[in-house]
């Protein structure tokens, strides 16, 4: 073999070797991207973006959904009616909203009913904020006051009516029960002078108090007890065709719930702070403390039948129940049960 021919063969070998290595690198890089691409996309709409839903944001920030093979796209649906419409129209795979929405929809006998398959919160998370200090608060002190209430027919409204009647106050008779202002404008309306007392969720309650424009005097959740509150629901057709996804989703939520039960206030803050960049740290810490103290978050995602029956009773007493549906027409408990089994 000549010296020139040998050099040519060596050159060709190096060229082919480099080309082969480049091809391998392309495959390797493609493989790196396939991890995200292989995740199943899930469209989730929440009724509002609230610290009340901390376990969900923990599941996002800690990667619990990704661990389950899911890429969750979270959208603030800005209202119970809107997120429910998104689910029914196919714009969302899962919604997080008050469980009463499943009762109201299924009472109309839809072709593709919706089902609660996991519960996120187990108590009402709203607080009463008074315009004046009420250091020794008594519910009787509300008699004759103007009460700025939540949306008519929703669980916060249902809970409020139950608690007021429990303490001998009839809404609209013993107190002025105002429901003409939408959720987003309740806090501004109160600060501008509407009502003597307002029922608010966080962060609005703590922000008003820390700004010296009101005083948190009571917790609705502490007074009402456990109910089937903010829950995850989907269409019956989704359960039939994509049950494994729902079990995996619920398992991630269970991990988030377990985290907030065991973690310190500071640890929860670190896990969810990026979801609320507009809220300063001291406010977030105050809110987390309040919610932990009131035990608002479900300890697991199961939706007990007794809590569903309690919710039905309260909805009926508030005059919003069209049809008393049995548990199995609203809730599918098997998804959360399977999710919890696979956690062990």
Instruction: Give the span between the Cα atoms of 177 and 170, in whole angstroms.
Output: 9
Q: Is the pLDDT of residue 33 over 70?
A: no
Q: Does residue 137 share a domain with residue 119?
A: no
Q: Does 203 sit behind a cis peptide bond, omega within 30 degrees of 0 on the bond before it?
A: yes
Q: Does residue 104 share a domain with residue 198?
A: no
Residue 31 lies inside a defined structural domain of this protein: no
Q: Does residue 202 share a domain with residue 246?
A: no
Instruction: Give the span between the Cα atoms of 102 and 115, in whole angstroms.
Output: 6
Q: Is the pLDDT of residue 27 over 80?
A: no
Query: Can you tell me the mean pLDDT for 296-300?
Result: 96
- What residues contact 110, with CB distance under 8 A and at least 6 apart? 88
Residue 249 lies inside a defined structural domain of this protein: yes
Q: Does residue 300 share a domain with residue 220?
A: no
Q: Does residue 260 share a domain with residue 192?
A: no
Residue 329 lies inside a defined structural domain of this protein: yes
> What integer pLDDT is reported at residue 7 of this predicted model?
46
Q: Write the DSSP string, 199-262.
A: EE-TTHHHHHHHTTS-EEEEEHHHHH-----EEEEEEHHHHHH-HHHHHHHHHHHHHHHHHHHH
Q: How far is CA 73 from CA 65, 67, 179, 212, in A?
A: 11, 15, 32, 37
User: Which residues span the domain enclosing 146?
Assistant: 127-224
The pTM of the whole model exceeds 0.75: yes
Q: Does residue 158 share a domain with residue 91?
A: no
Q: Does residue 269 share a domain with residue 157?
A: no
Q: Does residue 209 share a domain with residue 64?
A: no
Q: Does residue 238 share a domain with residue 90?
A: yes
CATH of the domain at 290: 3.40.190.10
Residue 97 lies inside a defined structural domain of this protein: yes
> What integer pLDDT is reported at residue 31 of this predicted model?
45
Q: Which of 224, 243, 258 is a domain's end point?
A: 224
Residue 1 lies inside a defined structural domain of this protein: no
Which spans in the chain are helix H?
3-37, 54-61, 64-67, 80-89, 100-106, 155-166, 186-191, 204-210, 220-224, 236-241, 243-262, 265-272, 281-293, 305-317, 334-343
Q: What's the angle, vertex CA 250, arms to CA 248 and CA 253, rounded to 5?
A: 115
Q: Which two tokens stand for residue 132?
A: 């004046």
> What integer pLDDT is reported at residue 35 of this predicted model?
52
> What integer pLDDT is reported at residue 344 of this predicted model?
60
Instruction: Give the span between the Cα atoms of 255 and 57, in whole angstroms.
Output: 11
Residue 319 lies inside a defined structural domain of this protein: yes
Backbone angles phi, psi at 181, to 5 degrees: -115, 135
Which has the higher per-residue pLDDT, 2 or 156?
A: 156
The structural domain count of the chain equals: 2
Q: Which of 173, 203, 224 is a domain's end point?
A: 224
Q: Does residue 215 share a domain with residue 186?
A: yes
Mean pLDDT taken over the chain: 90
> What integer pLDDT is reported at residue 73 of this predicted model?
97
Q: Is the pLDDT of residue 14 over 50?
A: no
Q: How far is CA 314 from CA 68, 311, 319, in A?
A: 36, 5, 9
Which has the higher per-residue pLDDT, 248 or 21?
A: 248
pLDDT band at 342 (very low <50, low <70, confident <90, very high): confident
Q: Does residue 172 share a domain with residue 259?
A: no
Q: Does residue 231 share a domain with residue 220?
A: no
pLDDT band at 37 (very low <50, low <70, confident <90, very high): low
Element containing residue 119 per DSSP (H, E): strand 114-119
Residue 16 lies inside a defined structural domain of this protein: no
pLDDT band at 277 (very low <50, low <70, confident <90, very high): very high
Residue 6 lies inside a defined structural domain of this protein: no
Q: Which of 224, 248, 280 is a domain's end point?
A: 224
pLDDT in tens, 68-101: 999 999 999 988 899 999 999 999 999 999 999 9
């Amino acid at each position: 073999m000549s010296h020139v021919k040998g050099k040519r063969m060596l050159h060709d070998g190096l060229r082919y070797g480099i080309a082969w290595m480049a091809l391998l690198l392309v495959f390797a890089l493609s493989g790196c991207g396939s991890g995200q691409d292989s995740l199943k996309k899930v469209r989730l709409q929440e009724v509002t973006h609230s610290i009340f839903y901390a376990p969900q944001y923990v599941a996002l920030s800690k990667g619990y959904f990704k661990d389950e093979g899911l890429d969750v796209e979270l959208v603030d649906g800005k209202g119970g009616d809107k997120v429910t419409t998104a689910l029914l129209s196919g714009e969302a795979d899962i919604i997080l909203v008050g469980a009463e929405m499943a009762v109201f929809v299924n009472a109309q006998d839809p072709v593709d009913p919706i089902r609660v398959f996991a519960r996120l919160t187990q108590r009402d998370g709203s607080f009463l904020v008074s315009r004046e200090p009420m250091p020794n608060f008594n519910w009787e002190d509300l008699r004759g006051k103007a009460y700025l209430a939540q949306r008519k027919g929703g669980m916060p409204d249902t809970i409020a009516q139950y608690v007021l009647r429990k303490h001998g106050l009839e809404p609209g008779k013993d107190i002025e029960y105002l429901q003409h202002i939408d959720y987003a404008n309740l806090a501004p309306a109160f600060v501008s002078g509407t009502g003597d007392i307002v029922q608010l969720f966080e962060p609005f309650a703590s922000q008003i108090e820390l700004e010296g424009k009101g005083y948190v005097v009571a917790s609705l959740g502490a007074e009402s007890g456990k109910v089937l509150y903010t829950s995850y629901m989907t269409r019956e057709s989704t359960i039939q065709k994509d049950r494994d996804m729902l079990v995996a989703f619920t398992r991630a939520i269970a991990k988030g719930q377990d985290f907030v039960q065991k973690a310190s206030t500071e640890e929860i803050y670190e896990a969810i702070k990026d979801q609320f960049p507009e809220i300063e740290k001291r406010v977030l810490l105050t809110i987390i403390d309040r919610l932990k103290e009131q035990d608002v978050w479900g300890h697991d995602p199961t939706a007990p039948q007794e809590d569903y029956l309690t919710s039905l009773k309260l909805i009926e007493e508030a005059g919003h129940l069209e049809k008393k549906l049995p548990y199995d027409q609203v809730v599918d408990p098997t998804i959360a049960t399977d999710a919890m089994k696979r956690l062990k």
